Structure 1
Amino acid sequence: MSRLKRAGQADPLAGFRAEKTESTVSSGQLKAARKSGQLNLCGRGLREVPQDVYRLNIDTPEEAHHNVSFGESDRWWEQTDLTKLLLSSNQLTQLSDDIKLLPALTTLDLHDNQLSSLPSALGDLQELQQLRLSHNQLTSLPVEVCTLKNLCGITLQQNQLESLPEELGRLENLTQLDLSNNRLKSLPSSLGRLTCLQKLNLCHNELSCLPDSLTQLTNVKLLDCSNNQLTDIPASLSEMLALEQLYLRHNKLRFLPKLPAPALKELYVGNNHIEQLQTEQLTCLTAISLLELRDNKIKVLPEQMTLLSTLTRLDLSNNDITTLPASLSLLPNLKVLLLEGNPLRGIRRDLLTKGTNELLKYLRGRIKEDPEREDEGQTAMTLPSQARVNVHNITTLKSLVYSEKQAGCIPDELFDAAADQSVTTVNFSKNQLTAIPSRLVELLPSLSDVNLGFNRLTCCSPDVCKLLQLMHIDLRNNQLSDLPSEMKNLTKLCSIVLNYNRFKSFPEVLYQMVSLETVLLGNNQVDKVDPHRLMGLVHLSTLDLSNNDLLNIPPELGLCGSLRCLSLEGNPFRTPRAAVVARGTDAVLEYLRSRIPT
């Protein structure tokens, strides 16, 4: 009997009834939305938009069905149309066609959901000005969205778009368009019709070229094409007369784009394959303030860099630059010069760490005065050997220069002029010296930088080892095969350049000089190196052993933890393989460590 009673209480139509779900939007929120015209449902875990939201301005409020009196502030029949609907950071997988029941919407925020498609009914929202669709799973954009003539901003970043409708050009009032982080391989030609655009973000796509119609966007101030597959930038881009910032990072450009854009102030072309800077590209940049060229393959800086008179920041980090033109110091507005990660020769490491002002001051000291002006000036005198003493360099810059004279000796008059002047820098490079000038020791109280490169020296005089303030010495392109043991007395020496000499082994004395930070021994005949003794050089960060006779790279070299730049290319060793060497210092050191026997 009890069993029959329980059966009689069951609802025989239960399986046919739709389960009634409670709205996640309270009547109070709906009431407030009718007054303000705004409804914020962000971050509520919604899987679908409640039906009473769509019907907010259609259905009679529930309270109107009760026998209650309304005050002036509660007159539901005087409600405001919903104009702003915020649905971001939910779990929406679709949007109903009922969205057309909210035709007064001016802002619809759907970003950070799981939408894979959009209803065509969006085209009924003709008042819409802001449409936020970023961080979804959209693979396409319905054509109907392109009919929203009042749309000023649409965000589509972080989706899975592979193409855009050609009708996109009908959104002529757009001022911002963000298409970043999608899968776009091409852009519609109608993009050029968006003449009100001021910002266009195309980064992190798969674009291999830009449409010519882009040149019609004469109001765009910022264009970001970073992280694509671009190999070339059309010169016609210069017709974008308002363009101020152009981002081209992480592409496949081999040349600096030729862009005579009159307003271009910031150009970012880092992480490309640029190997050289050409004059005609540089002369175009008439208004440039910031030029980023980091992480490319640039080897030489042309003298025409001085044409960039408006330049304030120049980033050349991580290129293959070995020398800096002194004329770089003539850029009148340059405030920041970044050079980390270049195999620079002839510039002390400590000078690079002192900042841009000190570096530019050093480069200015290397500029040779115009010979015609020297003849006219009272600070220059002609010596019997036809040498010139630049008194200004000696007294003001503390620099003694006698370079590129092809001379076999340095005139005594030069040392006489430098007496008691606390000279810090000597440059006797590119002559025919067969011995280090003995009078160099007269400068020992102050001398810190000596350049004797490109001479015919066969030995290094022990007299040099008396220059106890010496921090940098350049002996490249000579005929040296050994260094004196007395050099260990140079306890302040940070950098030594020995490229293109005749060393058959790593100079013994260098293992004892713990102050060394840079040792350049490329293009010699070195056949072995002792990694255990190198570990004692705790400050050594740059070691160039390229183009030598190393048959074996000891794995223990990977334990030299201070090394930041290790050059080994051009040696006849079999391991590490060339592919490992090409990946850079970190990869080589990691490989070597992995080969250490345990």
Structure 2
Amino acid sequence: MSRFKRGAHVDSRAGFRQEKEDCPVPYGLLKAARKSGQLKSIRAVLMYLGSVPHSVWRLNIDTPQEAQQNLSFGAADLTKLLLSSNKLQSLSEDVKLLPSLVVLDIHDNQLSSLPDSIRDLEQLQKLILSHNKLTQLPSGLWRLTNLRCLHLQQNLIEQIPQDSGQLVHLDDLDLSNNHLMDIPESLANLKNLVALNLSCNKLKSLPPAISEMKNLRMLDCSRNQIESIPPVLAQMESLEQLYLRHNKLRFLPELHCCKTLKELHCGNNQIEVLEADHLKHLSALSFLALRDNKVKNLPEEITLLQGLEHLDLTNNDISSLPCGLGTLPKLKSLALEGNPLRTIRRDLLTKGTGELLKYLRSRIQEEPKTAMTLPSQAKINVHAIKTLKTLDYSEMNKTHQDKSMTTNRGCCRKATKMEEILLGESFLSFDLCKYRMLAFIKIKRGLFRFP
């Protein structure tokens, strides 16, 4: 054994290795940020430090080298800060030192809370906080009245406070994939909201006040525990897309005033019956998804959906289809897999939508009807009717009156074996002379006026 003690270990790289807290954001990035007002591409620094360096928060305060050297330089306050997809566990109170921020993106981190000083970002319009571990939100957040976009999806939030109604300029709110059990009534104050995503929560109902969002175009309430939709939802006149998949609905919502609704997604519910009243007002509907329900029959009023392009009825209890389905002029996709259809050959179902619709149209010619009730907004070529014996037009709406139904043009000229006619107030006159077999006429009260 040597007499000399081995000296302490000497780090040959000492003096060259930077400590974490001394690792700055590259000066070139800070310089570029001062000119453009945007700071991004600092992921390597953030991943190394695990937090945002002070030089970022003080970007608008610290004097740059150019100014110290009396060189001409242009500077702009930071307006856009992108800190997404790092491992940030906290956000400093110093965020208030960037009051000119318009966009702040901190999604996909490990934040469990936010500093209340976020209230000082009064110019903020877009705040992305999705994919974090937030359980609650600071009261200061709801004072950012210039916010237009707020994304909070994929967090652990259990409650939204009444103060949320202060974000009156908000047009995009995403609260999906949280632990919400209810929605505050004050949310109805968000009159400018265009898109609201409440999917993947624990909601059992929707507040009736939600109908006051007159500008809302997209509402997603999928994957909740909702059993019924408040009737006032029908007052949302601007609604274009409604997602209600994976809930506990037994009926379609009544959407009388939703004249612009284009997509209705109600798959994976417990719907058994489709009422005519649920369909007749959806004239603009192009996509109707009812897969994985318990629907047994399709009403004839399905033919009122003249703009329908996609109809998904997969995995229901439908045994037959109305022949009128074949007359829908824009229908491109009809999904029927998993239904006990007995009136249509299996090989026909494999030939595609076009062949199936063609077959249904052919059945109309083979089985002429001897009775007909026309929906109030239906349009039909009555001059081609030959075998009709009963005509019920008592519910005809004046505003949708077909001029061909008046006597001066001749109604149902070929249906000379008519036995019953039910008239409403839309008929001012009707020529009955040719109907020799007519045995019964029902006329709405007050229709006749005697001199």
Q: The TM-score by the shorter chain falls in which range?
A: 0.7 to 0.9
Deviation by residue 1:37-86 (Cα, 9 ceiling, x = unmatched): 11104533151110111111112235655xx562x3xx3xx521111111
For residues 26 and 42 of structure 1, the distance between their equivalents in structure 2, rounded to whole angstroms, comes to 9
- Equivalence for 2:137: 141
Cross-structure match for 2:361: 364
Note the residue ranges of structure 1 that are not aligned, 5 or more in a row.
7-18, 377-598
TM-score by length of 2: 0.75
2:215 corresponds to:
219
What is the aligned partner in structure 1 of residue 50 from structure 2? Answer: 47
Instruction: Give yes or no for the alignment of 1:331 onto 2:328.
Output: yes
Report the Cα offset of residue 110 of structure 1.
0.4
Q: What aligned pairs does 1:28-107 form with structure 2 within 5 A after superposition? A: 28-41=28-41, 43-44=43-44, 45=47, 46-62=49-65, 68=69, 70=71, 72=72, 75=73, 78-107=74-103
Q: Does 1:252 align with 2:251?
A: no
In the superposition, relative to structure 1, how do residues 371 and 101 fare at CA in structure 2: closer, same or farther (>3 Å)?
Answer: closer
- Are the counterparts in 2 of residues 54 and 98 from structure 1 also a CA contact under 8 Å? yes
Task: Report matched runs for 1:106-255 at 5 Å.
Answer: 106-255=102-251
* Partners of 2:368 and 2:387 within 8 A in 1: no
> Which letter does structure 2 place at the counterpart of 1:90?
N
Identity of aligned residues (%): 55
The answer to whether the 8 A contact 1:30-1:56 is kept is yes
For 1:171 and 1:371, how far apart are their aligned partners in 2? 59
The structure with more radius of gyration: 1
> Match of 1:51, as an amino acid?
H
Of 282, 285, 302, 2:282 maps to 285
Letter of the aligned partner of 1:38 in structure 2? Answer: Q
Q: 1:375 to 1:348 in 2, by over 3 A?
A: closer
Runs of 4+ that moved beyond 4 A: 62-65, 371-376
Q: 1:284 deviation in Å?
A: 2.9
1:545-584 counterparts in 2 under 5 A?
A: none
Find 2:273's aligned residue among 270, 273, 276.
276
Q: Once the 2 structures are TM-superposed, how far is the Cα of residue 286 of structure 1 from its aligned partner?
A: 2.9
TM-fit CA distance, 1:107: 0.8
1:408-557 residue pairs with structure 2 within 5 A? none
Kindly indicate whether the alpha-carbon contact (under 8 Å) linking 1:42 and 1:88 is maintained by their aligned counterparts in 2: no
Alpha-carbon offset, residue 274 of structure 1: 0.6
The CA distance in 2 between the partners of 1:275 and 1:104, in whole Å, is: 54
1-structure distance, mates of 2:210, 2:346? 45
Instruction: String of CA shifts for 1:148-184, please: whole Å, max 9, x gaps.
Output: 1111111111111111121111111111111111111
C-alpha deviations, 1:485-518, integer Å up to 9, x for none?
Answer: xxxxxxxxxxxxxxxxxxxxxxxxxxxxxxxxxx
Residue 341 of structure 1 pairs with residue 338 of structure 2? yes
Which structure is higher in helix share? 1
What's the CA shift for 1:358? Answer: 1.1
CA contact 1:42–1:90 (8 Å) conserved in 2: no
Which residue type is aligned with residue 191 of structure 2?
T
The alignment's TM-score, normalised by the length of structure 1, stands at: 0.57
Could you give the per-residue CA deviations for residues 245-290 of structure 1, whole angstroms, max 9, x where no partner exists? 1011111101111111121111000111111111221223232221
CA pair 308-375 structure 1, distance change in 2 beyond 3 A = closer
Partners of 1:41 and 1:88 within 8 A in 2 = no
Counterpart AA for 1:34: R
For 1:268 and 1:42, the matched residues in 2 are separated by 41
**SS at 1:21's partner residue?**
helix
